[in-house]
Amino acid sequence: MITLPTDLRDIALRPGDDGFADAREIFNSRTSENTPSVILGARDASDVLAVARHAGETSTPLAVRAGGHGVDGTAMPDGALVADLSGLTSIDVDPSTGVVRLGAGVLLRDMDAALIAHGLVVPSGTVSTTGIAGLTLGGGIGYLMRRYGATVDNLLSCSVVTLDGRLVTASERENPDLFWALRGGGGNFGVVTEFEFRARPLAREVAAGFLLFPLDQAPEVLAGLREYLPRAPRELAVVAALTQCPPLPPVPPEFHGRPVLMPIVVHSGDPSSVPSVLDALAGLGRPVASAVAPMPWTEANRMLDVIAPPGRRYYSKGGYLTELDDATIDVVVRNTASAPAPSTPPLPSTVQNLWAMGGAVSDDVAEDAMAFSREGASWLWESVTEWDDARDDATYRGWLDGLRGELTPHLRSNSYVNLSTDHGPTWRRGVWGSPEKYQRLVTAKTTWDPHNLLRYNKNIKPR
């Protein structure tokens, strides 16, 4: 039983309290059996300070919940003391400078809506119910990464509550070692209450949608994408999804539920150049549907919400590819063909996404500039499997474990921490890149959280 000081009792929910069940709910229902001991719903940074002081003084490990989207469920561990930041939803935009301040509980959908009203954007992720906090602390990639880089490449500073109970700023000028580590090192170093970004200009409307190819065309189309993307404009994003086709309006009914290749396309540049780009993509094979059209940015950046609803059982793995070679293509296509059928049609149960890197995310920021690693990655492979009944766990997890096992020889040792479940200490030593980068992270951890109270994460152990 965790005993709380009086100043925290007002914001505490324990098992059995009204509101506890709702507060405990997170995106991945596979972790919903976990029962934290206490959830502390922060109303502002001073509540977070009180929570961190209490954790520090009593040596109690502290979990942090922001958007609640993390697949590992580290936001709500069994028996834990949880700082729930989902109430910190302030959004402050200065249109004259493009500087944006976001509370740690902001979701991508609310950020996108508030910023695009000013013709601005912070490049982030592709599912609108994701939290900006966990996404940024891991790196943050999405449809604008080739144009504007990863989310962390646009971060100016963080307000951070430390485990010895101080509120500090981390930026290039103040506590630069902490700022370096926070940009990709996850929630290992302190509790971030606010993020400050430099937003970028974006038209309110972009061209977005998908092309659809039968699976037997996937090898030639993926090989064509491999050649085309390095020459393509930075404004073009392609996420080549291999999945069980959802019943979308322009898709002929005979393809519904069948394994297909579905390149998701977002073009955020000059509309007059879109037709030639689409012709080039369609010309890589013989698409059976093409549904790329102008749409508001806020719609484009939630196209994938429909296949990632909260409350299902989720499992995910990912890794960087040096190249999308023929052997890799063979593995991903074969495993799409042999994937278990959807558990709850018409929702798909298995998706493999091949994200084209390149442009700003690959070329504009040095590998050692921050913890987030991108070195040598021309594609990111990522797979998510989702289902509803615990009795099907072995089927879907088994498929993805087998696929990842087969793909491992093709994956780099560095990776994007947010788009994979944790693979343990050896994986974590390589995931941020070079051994020197990992040692720098260990040093930052030892400085800022020497007792490893923030351990519910892709954990870096202090010395």
Ligand X SMILES: Cc1cc2nc3c(=O)[nH]c(=O)nc-3n(C[C@H](O)[C@H](O)[C@H](O)COP(=O)(O)OP(=O)(O)OC[C@H]3O[C@@H](n4cnc5c(N)ncnc54)[C@H](O)[C@@H]3O)c2cc1C
Q: Which is nearer to ligand X, 126 or 328 (CB)?
A: 126
Q: Judged by CB under 6 A, which of 13, 81, 191, 300 binds ligand X?
A: 191
Query: What is the C-alpha separation between 319 and 368, in angstroms, rounded?
Result: 19
By CB under 6 A, tell whether 123 contacts ligand X: no
Query: What is the C-alpha separation between 182 and 189, in angstroms, rounded?
Result: 7
Instruction: Give, as one character, the DSSP assignment of residue 71.
Output: T
Give me the least distance between CB of 219 and ligand X, in Å please: 25
Give me the least distance between CB of 275 and ligand X, in Å please: 27
By CB under 6 A, tell whether 82 contacts ligand X: no
Q: Other CB atoms closer than 10 Å to residue 6's CB: what's the count?
A: 6
Query: What is the C-alpha separation between 247 and 170, in angstroms, rounded?
Result: 46
Give me the least distance between CB of 266 and ligand X, in Å please: 12
Query: Do residues 145 and 237 touch, judged by C-beta distance below 8 A?
Result: yes
Q: Which is nearer to ligand X, 184 or 287 (CB)?
A: 184
With b meaning 16 or more CB within 10 Å and e meaning fewer, what string describes 31-47? Answer: beebebbbbbbbeebeb
Question: What is the C-alpha end-to-end distance of the chain, expressed in Å?
Answer: 29
Give me the least distance between CB of 459 and ligand X, in Å please: 9
Q: What's the distance, CA 198 to chain centroid? A: 19
Give me the least distance between CB of 58 and ligand X, in Å please: 19
Residues 330-369 that bind ligand X (CB under 6 A): none
By CB under 6 A, tell whether 157 contacts ligand X: no
Residues 129-148 that bind ligand X (CB under 6 A): 130-131, 133-135, 137-138, 140-142
By CB under 6 A, tell whether 222 contacts ligand X: no
Give me the least distance between CB of 355 and ligand X, in Å please: 8
Q: Judged by CB under 6 A, which of 39, 49, 52, 66 binds ligand X?
A: 66
Q: Which is nearer to ligand X, 324 or 384 (CB)?
A: 384
Closest of 108, 4, 6 to residue 62, by C-alpha:
4
By CB under 6 A, tell whether 41 contacts ligand X: no
Residue nearest to ligand X as judged by C-beta position:
134
The DSSP annotation for 350-387 comes to EEEEEEE--THHHHSS-GGGSS---TT-SEEEEEEEEE
Tokens, residue 141:
């990639």
For ligand X, how many residues bind (rule: CB under 6 A)? 37
Q: Which is nearer to ligand X, 189 or 213 (CB)?
A: 189
Q: Other CB atoms closer than 10 Å to residue 361's CB: what's the count?
A: 28
Residues 278-307 that bind ligand X (CB under 6 A): none
Using CB under 6 A as the criterion, what x/- string covers residues 84-103 for binding ligand X? -x------------------
Q: Three-class SS of residue 259?
A: strand
By CB under 6 A, tell whether 417 contacts ligand X: no
Q: Which is nearer to ligand X, 289 or 347 (CB)?
A: 347
By CB under 6 A, tell whether 445 contacts ligand X: no
Query: What is the C-alpha separation between 22 and 32, in angstroms, rounded?
Result: 11
Using CB under 6 A as the criterion, what x/- string covers residues 161-190 for binding ligand X? -------------------------xx---
Give the pairing type, strands 155-161 and 167-171. antiparallel
Residues 250-269 that bind ligand X (CB under 6 A): none
Q: Judged by CB under 6 A, which of 192, 225, 333, 370 binds ligand X?
A: 192
Q: Other CB atoms closer than 10 Å to residue 251's CB: what's the count?
A: 19
Closest of 260, 234, 272, 231 to residue 143, by C-alpha:
234
Enumerate binding residues for ligand X (CB under 6 A): 27, 64-71, 74-75, 85, 104, 125-127, 130-131, 133-135, 137-138, 140-142, 186-187, 191-192, 308, 314, 384, 418-419, 456-457
